[in-house]
Amino acid sequence: MHILHISAECYPIAKVGGLADVVGALPKYQNRIGNAAAVMMPYYKTAYVQKATTTVDFCHTLVMHKKTYLSEVLKVQDTSLGYSLYLVRIQGLTDRKEVYGYEDDAMRFMAFQRVALQWVLQQKEFPDVVHCHDHHTGLVPFMMSRCEDFDLLKMIPTVLSIHNAQYQGQFSHELGWMLPRFRESDLGLLDWSGMINPLAAAIKCAWRVNTVSPSYMEELKQKANGLEWLLNHEKNKCVGILNGIDAETWDPNSDSYLIKKYSIRNRVSGRKANKEALCKEFELDASKPLFGFIGRLVWEKGADILPEIIDNALQQYDINIILLGSGSKEVEGQLEALKSKYKGSYNAYIGYEERMSHQVYAGADFLLMPSRVEPCGLNQMYSLRYGCMPIVRSTGGLKDTVIDLGEDGFGICHNETTVEDVVYSIGRAVTHFKDQKGFKEIQKTMMQLDHSWENSAKMYVSLYKQLKS
Ligand code: ADP
Ligand code: GLC
């Protein structure tokens, strides 16, 4: 099958979070089972893009509200990706350093989606399915089915993956001119609560919708930032498919970011060397149990309670904590401030640093994920693969991937995103850590789990096939 993924992020080209990891891996695994999957994303000025060798595949002059934007689609020459990659460059709109965070983001992603579809129109052979990811590409299914400019694409099935329903990309109807012409009677398909809502529009217009874990699908029917009714109404076309991980990028036995590579066999010495290096870098004590946190410092991740968790846990237990993340300035400030109070037992790197994240999975004993909302979560799966025990709030994908030690599992689960629940779980971890023999055995179990994309890639392909028949 010819599969076209359209996304705002894709690893290693541009990554903000797990969306990039998924879009950078799923097509590769789909190709391995006999498909031809490609990725189309905006051209940003990231390090990868600046170095990439490209050829111009298509040029287009986009007209929006009488203004013209010169655009081109560049094909990247990089066979190591495992899929074809196209970058949509729109002068003055996409060619910036950051992926998100600009005032005109709605306009940037609108323009991107329009040029992407113009490119599809020019193809000799149309894709068998167009797969969109999150709200940034949520207007694609509407445009393909309702805008006369794209009439020829009407019969191509569309799939929407919801990676995060918290963000919906709403903008005012006054900006409706950004869309190509459509019939006024179709306006309702774009609207949700008086705004143009790209995520809602995609849920209404895509042929199929999936969330990135089965539990998240169920949770969204109860709590979806205002879209609960819509998701219940559309439930027959919705399904949950658990993300996988790129077991090649995330393999402690070949991970070049690590101080020492290791496999299940030499996990104890390998993890020890990585822990020691990590502790040296962060001035921590490698003989104590080490707890890590990696992630965006936002409410969904429970970041607001992290400072209190750290404070309470370090007063109660003889442990070390290391944190890697960025986001809310207030939380960043609190986490920085704790450094001097707990010098030698707590340290943090406020920022984004790919190398360090790998080192934390390989060196920490436990990974904290007190998420309030976690559609899937990749951290816990990376953590398991590296033999680092996840401590998670049972929600969304965390519920689907982590089984508590008390139920013959390999992780620690708690019910609420509260300081009490997390600190209690840290206490359980400390007790468990004392039994080093048992702990090392469980590390083996964790590392043996198979979360690679193979299964899920097949599930997506069979979903597409249902749409073709
Ligand atoms: P989300 O997409 O909601 O942020 P996921 O668990 O799906 O959460 O994916 C997060 C990804 O981003 C993982 O690959 C994780 O290692 C990475 N990550 C998050 N924060 C940082 C950071 N500060 N530095 C390096 N990697 C990070
Ligand atoms: C989102 C979610 C995260 C998920 C990722 C990839 O960013 O917050 O839980 O793992 O997308 O699907």
Per residue, what are the HEC states of 239-276?
EECCCCECCCCCCCCCCCCCCCCCCCCCHHHHHHHHHH
Q: For residue 363, give the nearest of 437, 443, 296 by alpha carbon.
A: 443
Binned at pLDDT 50, 70 and 90, residue 65 comes out as confident
| Index of the ligand 1 atom closest to the CA of residue 301 | 3
For ligand 1, say whether the CB of 17 is within 6 Å of any of its atoms.
yes
For ligand 1, say whether the CB of 295 is within 6 Å of any of its atoms.
yes
Q: How far is the CA of 318 from the centre of ligand 2 (A)?
A: 33
Q: Which tokens sit at 411? A: 């992780």
Percent of the chain with pLDDT over 70: 100
Distance between CA 385 and CA 277 in Å, rounded? 19
pTM: 0.96
Q: How far is the CA of 163 from the centre of ligand 2 (A)?
A: 5
Does residue 342 contact residue 269 with C-beta atoms inside 8 Å? no
Q: Tell me which amino acid residue 395 is.
A: T
pLDDT for 360: 98
Binned at pLDDT 50, 70 and 90, residue 469 comes out as low
The answer to whether the Cα torsion of 168, 25, 378, 20 is positive or negative is negative
For ligand 1, say whether the CB of 388 is within 6 Å of any of its atoms.
no
Q: How far is the CA of 378 from the centre of ligand 2 (A)?
A: 7
Q: What residues does 404 pair with on adjacent strands?
A: 411
pLDDT for 414: 98
Residues 89-121 have pLDDT tens digits of 999 999 999 999 999 999 999 999 999 999 999
For ligand 1, say whether the CB of 325 is within 6 Å of any of its atoms.
yes
Mutate to test the pocket of ligand 1, among 299, 322, 378 (most ligand atoms within 8 A of CB): 378
Would the pLDDT of 253 be above 70? yes
Does residue 34 contact residue 67 with C-beta atoms inside 8 Å? no
Distance between CA 31 and CA 38 in Å, rounded? 9
Ligand 2 binding pocket (C-beta < 6 A) is 17-19, 22, 163-164, 212, 243, 374-378, 397
pLDDT for 53: 98
Distance between CA 187 and CA 172 in Å, rounded? 13
pLDDT for 7: 98
CA 283 → CA 29, 148, 277, 296, 350, distances in Å? Answer: 40, 62, 10, 23, 16
For ligand 1, say whether the CB of 322 is within 6 Å of any of its atoms.
no
- Hey, what domains does the chain have and what are their CATH numbers? 2-244+454-468 (3.40.50.2000), 267-451 (3.40.50.2000)
At what angle are helices 354-363 and 267-281 packed, to 10 degrees? 130
Alpha helices in 191-328 (DSSP H): 198-205, 214-222, 228-233, 267-281, 306-316
Distance between CA 379 and CA 368 in Å, rounded? 10
Place of tokens 């350093």: 97
The answer to whether the Cα torsion of 466, 22, 335, 424 is positive or negative is positive
pLDDT for 115: 98
In 102-130, which positions are buried (b, 16+ CB within 10 angstroms) versus exposed (e)? eeebbbbbbbbbbbbbbbbeeeeeebbbb
Mutate to test the pocket of ligand 2, among 167, 212, 220 (most ligand atoms within 8 A of CB): 212
Q: How far is the CA of 164 from the centre of ligand 2 (A)?
A: 6
Longest CA pairwise span in the chain (Å): 70
CB within 8 Å of 315: residues ≥ 6 apart? none
Q: Whose CA is nearest to atom 10 of ligand 2?
A: 377
Binned at pLDDT 50, 70 and 90, residue 468 comes out as confident
* Ligand found nearest the CA of 369: 1
| Index of the ligand 1 atom closest to the CA of residue 164 | 3
Residues 371-402 have pLDDT tens digits of 999 999 999 999 999 999 999 999 999 999 99
Q: Report the pLDDT averaged over residues 309-325.
A: 98
Q: Tell me which amino acid residue 265 is.
A: R
Secondary structure class of 112 (helix, strand, coil): helix
Q: How far is the CA of 374 from the centre of ligand 2 (A)?
A: 7
CB within 8 Å of 266: residues ≥ 6 apart? none
* Ligand found nearest the CA of 380: 1
Q: Report the pLDDT averaged over residues 223-245.
A: 98
pLDDT for 66: 85
For ligand 1, say whether the CB of 327 is within 6 Å of any of its atoms.
no
Q: How many CB atoms lie within 10 A of CB 292?
A: 24
Q: How far is the CA of 423 from the centre of ligand 2 (A)?
A: 25
Mutate to test the pocket of ligand 2, among 22, 164, 301, 392 (most ligand atoms within 8 A of CB): 164
pLDDT for 350: 98
Q: Which tokens sit at 437? A: 């023999």
Q: How far is the CA of 124 from the centre of ligand 1 (A)?
A: 38
Residues 114-149 have pLDDT tens digits of 999 999 999 999 999 999 999 999 999 999 999 999
DSSP string, 49-71: HHH--EEEEEEEEEEETTEEEEE
